[in-house]
Amino acid sequence: MVDRLDDAARARALADLPEWRLVDEPEGISRRFIFGDFSAAFAFMARVALLAEKADHHPDWSNVYNRVDILLTTHDAGGLSQRDIDMARAIDALLAA
C-alpha cells in the first residue's frame, strides 16, 4: 500500500517531470508520446510493459497508430503516488537511453 502524495510533494515531483501534466479523475499524470510509426510505438509499449511488470505498477494507456497516451495513477491510493512518479521517471529514461 502506498500513500497519495500531498500538494507539496506533488508540486515537487512535477517540477522534475516537465513533459507530464497533472490530470483529474482519476488523479494522475499523463504524457503523450508520438513515434515514427506503429512499430516504434508498439516497441516502446513492450518496454513499458516490462517496467510495469517489474514494478507491479501498470499504466492506463491507449495507442492509436504512432501515438501512445499514458496515464499513471495509483488505484490503490485513489490518486497520484510516489509509484507514479517513479514510473514516469523510468519511462522517460527509456527514451533518453
Ligand X SMILES: C[C@H](O)[C@H](O)[C@H]1CNC2=NC(N)=NC(=O)C2=N1
Which chain residues interact with ligand X by CB under 6 A? 56-58, 73-76
* Closest distance to ligand X from the beta carbon of 36 (Å): 28
* Closest distance to ligand X from the beta carbon of 95 (Å): 20
Task: Between 31 and 40, name the residue whose CB sits nearer to ligand X.
Answer: 31
One DSSP character per residue, 4-71 reads BP-HHHHHHHHHT-TT-EEETTTTEEEEEEE-SSHHHHHHHHHHHHHHHHHHT---EEEEETTEEEEE
Task: Between 14 and 40, name the residue whose CB sits nearer to ligand X.
Answer: 14
